[in-house]
Structure 1
Amino acid sequence: MLEICPMTLKEANAFVEQHHRHHKPVAGQKFSIGCTDGEKIVGVAIVGRPVSRYLDDGWTLEVNRLCTDGSHNACSMLYAAAWRATRAMGYHKLITYILDTESGTSLKAAGWKCVGQAGGLRWTGKRRPEVDLCPAQMKIKFEIDDGKRPPEGEENRNV
């Protein structure tokens, strides 16, 4: 039986380093959670501020990494737990992106909705990295929210 457990960023990044198919560990976070089978960690979720500065409104967080060893239901359990923790911290929306070749079944099982394609194949602009940090592939954006609007005058707390 799977259970959610607390994780440090160092622990979560070590799991990502060992198991993630196409991403490296992250630099920062708001929080990390793990999933255990009672004997070992079988998955982690790392949640932080949105990578896109346009979405960083102070009310939204992003699942920046979700990684499992393939254990059945671990992904959907982590996505659901990440949303519960996000809400408990007072945020109103949680977003994430998957590759367009991934199905999104775990996200759908956790109650998230697909909002369509996002971005392009690569980062663009002056600050783009010299080497791609993720596969040059289209992404699909998923989100979950509580349906509430931020208090009047606080639509964007990070401006």
Structure 2
Amino acid sequence: MLEICPISLKEANAFVEQHHRHHKPVTGHKFSIGCTDGEKIVGVAIVGRPVSRYLDDSWTLEVNRLCTDGTRNACSMLYAAAWRTARAMGYHKLVTYILESENGASLRAAGWKCVGRAGGLRWTGKRRPSVDLCPAQMKLRFEVTDGNGGQK
């Protein structure tokens, strides 16, 4: 039986380093949670401020990393727990992005809605990394909200 547990950013990043297909660990967060099978961590969610400055309105957070070892239902359990935690902290919206090639079944199972395509194929501008940090694919933005439209 799967359970949600607290986890430090250091532990969550170590799990991401070992298991994530295309992303590296993050530098900061608001909170991280783990999913355990009773013996070991089988997944983690790292939640922080939105990467997009347009979404960074003090009422919105972003699941910056979600990673599992493939354990059934761990993804949807982590997405649901991340939203419960963010809501309990006073946030009104939680967003995340997946590659267009991913199906989003775990997000939909956790009650999230796809709100469409987001971003471009690559980072652009002065701060663009010299090497792509993720696959050059369009992303899909998913979000869950308490219905207050980002306002108190």
Output the TM-score relative to the length of structure 1. 0.94
Unaligned runs of 5+ in 1: 152-159
Report the residue type matching 1:11 in the other structure.
Answer: E
The CA RMSD over aligned residues, in Å, is 0.6
- Supply the AA of the counterpart residue of 1:40: K
After superposition, give the CA deviation of every residue in 1:82-140 in whole Å (9 maximum; x if it has no partner).
00000000000000000001000000000000001101000111111111111111100
Tell me the distance in 2 between the aligned counterparts of 1:148 and 1:55.
15
**Matches of residues 4-43 of structure 1 in structure 2 within 5 Å?**
4-43=4-43
Q: In the aligned structure 2, how far is the partner of 1:139 from the partner of 1:145?
A: 20
Structure 2 equivalent of residue 130 of structure 1: 130
What's the % identity of the aligned pairs?
83
User: How far apart in 2 are the matches of 1:130 and 1:90?
Assistant: 37
Letter of the structure 2 residue corresponding to residue 146 of structure 1: D
What is aligned with 1:91?
91
Please tell me the residue identity of whatever aligns with 1:2. L
Q: How far apart, CA to CA, are the structure 1 residues paired with 2:15 and 2:35?
A: 11
> In the alignment, which residue of structure 2 is the partner of 1:47?
47
Q: Please, which runs of 5 or more residues in structure 2 have no aligned partner?
A: none
Q: Which residue of 1 aligns with 2:58?
A: 58
| SS in structure 2 of the partner of residue 111 of structure 1 | coil
The AA in structure 1 aligned to 2:67 is: C
Aligned residue for 2:75? 75
Q: Tell me by how many angstroms 1:4 deviates.
A: 0.1
* 4+ aligned runs moved over 2 Å, structure 1: none
DSSP-derived class of the 2:79 partner: helix
Per-residue CA deviation, residues 32-77 of structure 1 (Å, 9 max, x unaligned), is 0000000000000000000011110000000000000000000000
Counterpart of 1:56 in structure 2: which amino acid? D
- Deviation of 1:146 (Å): 0.1
Q: Which residue of structure 2 lines up, in the alignment, with residue 154 of structure 1? A: none
Secondary structure (helix, strand or coil) at the match of 2:5 reads strand
Query: How far 1:148 sits from its partner (Å)?
Result: 1.0
Distance 1:22 1:2 in 2: 25
What is the rounded CA distance, in whole Å, between the counterparts of 1:112 and 1:122 in structure 2? 25
Q: How many residues align?
A: 151
Which secondary structure does the structure 1 equivalent of 2:91 belong to?
Answer: coil
